[in-house]
Structure 1
Amino acid sequence: MQTETIHHISYVNSDLTSFMNHLEQHYIDQEIGAFISTVNPEIGYAAIKDRDYFNVLSSSNFILPDGIGVVMMSRLTNSRLQSRIAGFDVFKELLGIANKKKKRIFLYGAKKNVIENVVSKISSEYPNIQITGYSDGYVQDRAKVAKHIANAKPDMVFVALGYPHQEKFIHNYRHLFPQAVSIGLGGSFDVFSGNVKRAPSWMIRLNLEWLYRLVTNPWRWKRMLSIPKYALAVLKEEKTGKTFYPKPEKDHTKQL
């Protein structure tokens, strides 16, 4: 699949429909596993700061531009991404495929009440899906969860631990479930369960979902500061041809 590289991260350069068709035909139908990462500017900047995390992301089969900021950044460089591919939309598409083809899934992440609501909703709306197991994101023994997933033998693994934990989990343990399409989904379980509302469709169409999140969750403004920092790093590299690495910052990411 065609990609475009921004600050050494190779993003899928496609749209949602084309990407899902490719994933279904070449991976799901062939029972070949895949590691999918969904990256926004905040995650892109985190990968610049943390070389280990960058290496984790780089091990993905597909890195999706899940953020209009990444797409806009591509248009300021020689890399031009076609469109944003939102992780939540991929999640819904994968559920549709799993229901159509009677696939097995495992869900990992979020709070206990949220994951239980997600399981209940999937069972109701996608009756052909076999949920082989699930776990909330606050279980301390992640190796034990990974073994549970391995024993369940799912076709798809949905991990919603937030970055960088979800990507590191898949990277570290995917060898235990190599047949599965595994994807990090951030806060998608909260949205799917109805615990958090997604932006209205018109805002999504206008690429203003980030604004809706900021208005409804004002505390996110600190996280938004990573956008200009990411832009600066990308543009400096574009101008000088040299990779720009910022000074290390304290990691404020909460461990789930």
Structure 2
Amino acid sequence: MNIGNIYKFSPECCIDKKLSITFINPYNFKLSALDKDYLNVLKQFDCVYIDGILLQKMANYLYKKNYKRYSFDGNSLAPKFFSEAKERSLSVSFVGSRNGVASRAADIINNKYNNIVKNSFSGYFKSEEEKNEVIRSLNLSEMIVIGMGAPDQDEFAIKVKNKYPDKLVITCGGYFDQIVDGQNEAYYPKLINDFNLRFAYRVYKEPKRILSRYLFDYLFFYKWALNELFNKRMQ
């Protein structure tokens, strides 16, 4: 898991420095291991945080670190970043998910944070020209939140950051859908989040999709983790 910029900056520094931020979980961990082009995309981010309690614990055990788990959602970094945007009068744009989802998520966030989200766009582009038009429309925003899932959101985020190096660019996975689904900034109930039972809650909420991800998409990570643990025991 040698990405280079894992935890290079604290989340607080990211706001001040207008950095590019993404997150790695067992799914895009697999993608980064199997696809060198995608790994190179991740290496272009100013900061990569671990999102996933198992991945966090494995990284801390193997590399003798004290990494914390972060994600851009209502139970982790999003409230802090949105609060800072409100306090500093920063304009925010949402890009991602199906048509209409980002705009509905923006309405919910704006009700709490005094209309900080000025623009919202679907993450499904019909053409390269439409994608470029959305990027051009982001020129007035100071914080850009992108939720398309890996690897698309990371590739798009780097493209945006390269065009606008003075902007804060953050990926958020399926956060827009979570906001709309729960009609609330925070997707996970407090006790679920406090006891690290987010995986169980997601299985309860989206059994078909999430079970498939945990059983099949994460299989590469499980195998890697077992192999690393075995090698460490043999040393």
Scaled to the shorter chain, the TM-score interval is 0.7 to 0.9
Give the Å deviation of 1:214. Answer: 1.7
Task: Give yes or no for the alignment of 1:184 onto 2:174.
Answer: no
Partner of 1:73: 58
Hey, what's the Cα distance between the residues in 1 that align with 2:132 and 2:49? 24
- The 3 A distance-change label for structure 1 pair 8 and 181 is same
User: Structure 1 counterpart of 2:127, which letter?
Assistant: D
Task: Give yes or no for the alignment of 1:12 onto 2:7.
Answer: yes
Partner of 2:130: 144
Give the Å deviation of 1:164. Answer: 0.7
Could you tell me which of 85, 88, 103 is aligned with 2:90?
A: 103
* TM-score using structure 2 length: 0.83
Could you tell me which of 175, 191, 194 is aligned with 1:202?
A: 191
- The 3 A distance-change label for structure 1 pair 130 and 232 is closer
Give the Å deviation of 1:124. Answer: 2.1
Question: Which 4+ residue blocks in structure 1 deviate beyond 6 angstroms?
Answer: 238-241
User: Structure 2 counterpart of 1:222, which letter?
Assistant: S
Let me know the Cα RMSD of the aligned residues.
2.5
Give the Å deviation of 1:212. Answer: 1.2
Contact 1:13–1:83, Cα closer than 8 Å, also in 2: no
Hey, what's the Cα distance between the residues in 1 that align with 2:214 and 2:44? 26
Gap regions ≥5 residues in structure 2: none
Contact 2:8–2:46, Cα closer than 8 Å, also in 1: no
Give the Å deviation of 1:90. Answer: 2.0
Partner of 2:14: 23
- The 3 A distance-change label for structure 1 pair 59 and 232 is same
The SS at the match of 2:92 is: strand
Partner of 1:126: 113
Contact 1:95–1:126, Cα closer than 8 Å, also in 2: yes
Deviation string 1:55-90 (CA, Å, 9 cap, x unpaired) is: 111111110111112112114312433321122122
Sequence identity (%): 21
Contact 1:9–1:58, Cα closer than 8 Å, also in 2: yes
The SS at the match of 2:23 is: strand
Contact 1:20–1:93, Cα closer than 8 Å, also in 2: no
Task: Give yes or no for the alignment of 1:221 onto 2:223.
Answer: no
Task: Give yes or no for the alignment of 1:46 onto 2:31.
Answer: yes
Give the Å deviation of 1:43. Answer: 1.2
Give the Å deviation of 1:223. Answer: 1.3
Deviation string 1:203-250 (CA, Å, 9 cap, x unpaired) is: 211111012112322222221134342143356467769xxxxxxxxx
Moved more, 107-116 or 192-201: 192-201
Hey, what's the Cα distance between the residues in 1 that align with 2:189 and 2:130? 39
Gap regions ≥5 residues in structure 1: 1-6, 28-32, 242-256
* TM-score using structure 1 length: 0.77
